[in-house]
Chain A
Amino acid sequence: MRTDIGKYDLLIEKVKSTTPEMRSPERVMDGVMAGISARSYKKDSGTLIRITAICASVAATLLIGLFINESIGVTAKEENREYMQRRDVVFYGELRSGRNSVTDLNYTGILKSRIAENQSISKLYYNISSRHIN
């Protein structure tokens, strides 16, 4: 009569001594190689997508930066030009009325020469004055 322990050992021995038979080793090999190729393709395309995304975001950031810089520059330039024009008009008016408060002789000279060169300031003065009157 066999004991329980004996039976346990026999069962273990049976499992140990039996190697499961691989039905199709070639299919396993093909599966492994195909899996490797698929993973590496996935990895490559993933890397490519990541690189493209990084490049696109960098380009977008640069473009936004450029746009902001440009718009700030344009606004500042316009503001400056407007300020200069206003200042010219004020001083031109003062010059005409003989109440020249401009102490900077150099600027007065520049203004006079500008007036002599073209009539843009007087035109501007006229426009602004008439708009002011209206």
Chain B
Amino acid sequence: MNDNLTPYIKKCKMGDRDAFRQIVARYRQMVYTLSFRLLCNEEDAEDATQESFIKAWESIKRYDESFKFSTWLYKITANTCYDRLRRRKREKFVEIGGFELHDSSNIEEAIENRELGLLISKLTNGLSAKQRIVFILSDIEGLESAEIGEITGLSSGKIKSNLHLARKQIRKRVEGYEN
């Protein structure tokens, strides 16, 4: 499952920091992307990325190699972001303008981090931390329900209900701005 990663993981388990450096170099973009998509903020995403890797280093001895390493790392990242989202308590509900998306060419346009953060924020603002995580993992990261279950620890039913509520709320907002 983690064929070419196994030697690095074994070294990490023995306390080899250089091996862990290799792992960080390989997965930092993945962790950062998830953090950014969940937190919608560059600074917070960087902090969460660092925190997630530090947590991973601290618990790598307990990592079971029969599981996919990326899923394990996703789990740590999702938990780190979940804590941060909860700490934020209630995000200030900013007055959000309409979604400026008039022609399909916009999709190909490269958008800046700030714009992307704002767009995700617009979409997911008002969702609970759980709904946001489930929605991002499922509809944005494209993960299967089983993997989301492994990451979040939620049952299949709860994943479905959270996802349904999140989608419904987002659709309602998109619709609201359209009118």
User: Do A36 and B17 have beta carbons less than 8 Å apart?
Assistant: yes
User: Main SS of the interface on chain B?
Assistant: helix
User: Which chain A positions have C-beta within 8 A of B101?
Assistant: 7, 10-11, 14
A interface residues (Cβ-Cβ under 8 A, vs B): 4-5, 7-8, 10-23, 25, 27-29, 31-33, 35-36, 39
Nearest B residue to A5, CB-CB: B171
B interface residues (Cβ-Cβ under 8 A, vs A): 17, 20-21, 24-25, 28-29, 32-33, 36-37, 42, 45-46, 49-51, 53-54, 57-58, 99, 101, 104, 106-107, 110-111, 113, 116-117, 119-120, 123, 139-140, 142, 170-171, 174-175, 178
User: Do B53 and A32 have beta carbons less than 8 Å apart?
Assistant: yes
Among A13, A21, A36, the residue within 8 A (CB) of B107 is A13
User: Which chain B positions have C-beta within 8 A of A8?
Assistant: 170-171, 174
Q: Which 9 A-B pairs have the closest CB atoms?
A: A20-B36, A35-B54, A31-B50, A32-B53, A4-B175, A8-B174, A20-B113, A22-B32, A36-B57
Expressed in whole angstroms, the minimum distance between the Cβ of B139 and any Cβ of chain A is 6
Known contacts: A29-B24, A32-B24. The answer to whether A19 contacts B33 by CB under 8 A is yes
Interface centre among B42, B50, B106, B171 (most CB of A within 10 A): B50
User: Which chain A positions have C-beta within 8 A of B51?
Assistant: 35
Known contacts: A15-B123, A17-B107. The answer to whether A29 contacts B17 by CB under 8 A is no
Expressed in whole angstroms, the minimum distance between the Cβ of A43 and any Cβ of chain B is 9
User: Which chain B positions have C-beta within 8 A of A35?
Assistant: 50-51, 53-54
Expressed in whole angstroms, the minimum distance between the Cβ of B106 and any Cβ of chain A is 7
User: Which chain A positions have C-beta within 8 A of B178?
Assistant: 4, 7
Known contacts: A15-B123, A36-B57. The answer to whether A25 contacts B104 by CB under 8 A is no
User: Do A12 and B140 have beta carbons less than 8 Å apart?
Assistant: yes
Expressed in whole angstroms, the minimum distance between the Cβ of B126 and any Cβ of chain A is 15
Known contacts: A18-B111, A28-B50, A36-B57. The answer to whether A23 contacts B42 by CB under 8 A is yes
User: Do B20 and A36 have beta carbons less than 8 Å apart?
Assistant: yes
Expressed in whole angstroms, the minimum distance between the Cβ of A128 and any Cβ of chain B is 75
Question: In whole angstroms, what is the CA distance A15 to B146 when docked?
Answer: 23
Known contacts: A7-B174, A28-B46, A35-B50. The answer to whether A22 contacts B107 by CB under 8 A is no
Expressed in whole angstroms, the minimum distance between the Cβ of B58 and any Cβ of chain A is 7
